[in-house]
Amino acid sequence: MIETLTLTPGTLTLEDCRRLYRERLALALNPDAREAIADAAATVARVIASGAVVYGVNTGFGKLASTTIPADRLEELQKALVRSHAAGVGEPLDDAVVHLILALKANGLGRGHSGVRGEVIDALIALTNTGVMPVIPSQGSVGASGDLAPLAHMSAVLIGEGEARRGGERLSGPAALQAAGIEALILAPKEGLALLNGTQVSTALALAGLFEIDQVFRAALVAGALSVDAAMGADTPFDARIHALRAHPGQAAVAASIRALLRGSVIRASHLDCDRVQDPYSLRCQPQVMGAVLDHLRFAAGRLVAEANAVSDNPLVFPAEGEVISGGNFHAEPVALAADQIAIAAAEIGALSERRTALLMDANISTLPPFLVAEPGINSGFMIAHVTAAALASENKQLAAPTSIDSLPTSANQEDHVSMATHGARRLLPLAANLRRIVAIELLAAAQGVELRRPLATSAVLGEAIAEVRAVADFYDRDRLMAPDIEAVAARIAEGAFDRFVDLPLDEPGG
């Protein structure tokens, strides 16, 4: 049975958003929200009846805002807006992302400052609950005025146009409405604009990227701890006293996590009195690097939750004062900057992981067989797996280049500064896919290195992590096709197999 999440607009948590993305929860609108929604719609009706000219209600859009639309053409105006703005291109967004977009749009409209009727929100919820996902092209938004093109494709289904998917089947707009059990909406004044304006696409994409990268972050901490043991590294750099002197919460938390992962390692106990003075930075400075990553992911998470609960269309309706005010909440700069933070942090996770894999290849540093295989020369071992990690890490550095610093004026220079949040958020998912494979390669290499230390053993916890690797990839005793093992371990990361080893939630204070 599908679990239902009751939307109390403006109160979504990070965990709610994660579950909406991962689990495809059904939605229900809290009945207490309906009064505010109705008041806002009534305010729009009163403004129109008064003869006032209000942007987007009875005017054109963007550069055409000075054109007043007669009352008998307001319905036509809203439908024309949806049709003209459905100009997106590219591959459709994944259904999991679309599911989150629908929920975020219902959440924002449900706060009662957008002027839409309750049936508009009900229609969005009906699509969600019946698994009818509008086909939304992934390209075409610059992140101001909101995610216009992609949200127009979403909205087209509500008026019986466009396309949707259900269970892998492509449906026409009318067929989609039939599958959802609803009638096509006849959009009232402002409703088309309220649906199209908003940052829900860029926010959903950024949240999706955050959730995927957070999962790989956890696996990377496990891989890093395994690499410490595989290379016979020291655990003294993780001493709590070191990190207490710097007061970065993520750094202290990561150090504590690595200490817990290594606790009880026989490998570590075997070389307490060795003559190595210091380990390379990729081992020794994990708390400093991964802690900074954690702090910035937490900060970005906080901004994205705030945006998930925001009213980000324009103009906004204030029923208590009877006013409709034009502003700029559709500008997605908060999302753009958060997405850049996440991308840069993810690139650093991969950069550090690749360096540890490289370290394990070097017998002079690791004291393991060259490239972690018996009979090196006959066997090449992990040589080219590391090259793949290096290629992916380099690609991620390019993907992490900031998008928020770019802007191109649109709408005949009316929209003269835009955020580029949407593709800044969209690139997080391919970046996460690369990162997953980088860390999968390190998990394979580090597990191999630890097992080459037998009869010495790692900690019990890391032994469980190795068992997760070995569930899908055998010990590498001689050369074989490596790609299937990389993909299998990457899939285990995506399935959450390593989540249980690291308890560092993103919604804790810090950053």
21 belongs to the catalytic site: no
Tokens read off for 462: 């890391």
Residue 510's pLDDT is 58
Whether the predicted pLDDT of 211 surpasses 80: yes
Q: How many CB atoms lie within 10 A of CB 240?
A: 11
Residue 413's pLDDT is 76
Omega before 455 within 30 of 0, i.e. cis: yes
Residue 100's pLDDT is 98
Q: Please provide the DSSP assignment of 465-511 as one string.
A: HHHHHHTTS---SS----HHHHHHHHHHHHTTTTGGG----TTSS--
The alpha carbon of residue 422 and the mean position of all alpha carbons in its chain are separated, in whole angstroms, by 12
Residue 84's pLDDT is 95
Whether the predicted pLDDT of 41 surpasses 70: yes
Question: Do residues 357 and 391 touch, judged by C-beta distance below 8 A?
Answer: no
Percent above pLDDT 90 for the chain = 86
Average pLDDT, the chain: 95
Query: In which band, very low, low, confident or very high, does the pLDDT at 416 lie, cut at 50, 70 and 90?
Result: confident
Residue 465 and residue 307: Cα distance in Å, rounded? 36
Q: Which phi-psi region, left, alpha or beta, contains residue 437 (left: φ > 0; alpha: ψ -120 to 50)? A: alpha
Tens-place pLDDT, residues 445-495: 999 999 999 999 999 999 999 999 999 999 999 999 999 999 999 999 999
Tokens read off for 461: 């916890």
Whether the predicted pLDDT of 511 surpasses 60: no
Q: How buried is residue 31: exposed, middle or buried, by Cβ count under 10 Å (0-12/13-18/19+)?
A: exposed
Residue 39's pLDDT is 98
Whether the model clears a pTM of 0.85, i.e. scores above it, the answer is yes
- Phi/psi at 85 (nearest 5 deg)? -85, -10
Residue 252 and residue 452: Cα distance in Å, rounded? 31
Residue 413 and residue 420: Cα distance in Å, rounded? 16
**Gyration radius of the chain's alpha carbons:** 26
Tens-place pLDDT, residues 217-232: 999 999 999 999 999 9
95 contact partners, CB below 8 Å, separation of at least 6: 133, 165
Q: Of 21, 55, 281, 476, which one is the catalytic site residue?
A: 55
- Phi/psi at 376 (nearest 5 deg)? -60, 140
Residue 136 and residue 94: Cα distance in Å, rounded? 9
Question: Do residues 142 and 117 touch, judged by C-beta distance below 8 A?
Answer: no
Query: For the chain, how many residues are written?
Result: 511
SS3 assignment, position 317: strand
Residue 354 and residue 376: Cα distance in Å, rounded? 21
- H helices present in 53-159, as ranges: 74-85, 95-109, 118-129, 148-158
Query: E strands along 135-174, which residues?
Result: 137-139, 163-166, 169-172
Tens-place pLDDT, residues 89-145: 999 999 999 999 999 999 999 999 999 999 999 999 999 999 999 999 999 999 988
Residue 376's pLDDT is 87
Residue 432's pLDDT is 98
Query: E strands along 362-404, which residues?
Result: none
Question: Do residues 341 and 299 touch, judged by C-beta distance below 8 A?
Answer: yes
Tens-place pLDDT, residues 287-333: 999 999 999 999 999 999 999 999 999 999 999 999 999 999 999 99
Average pLDDT for 423-428: 97
The alpha carbon of residue 128 and the mean position of all alpha carbons in its chain are separated, in whole angstroms, by 19
Identify the residue whose tokens are 């380990």. Answer: 279
Residue 433's pLDDT is 98
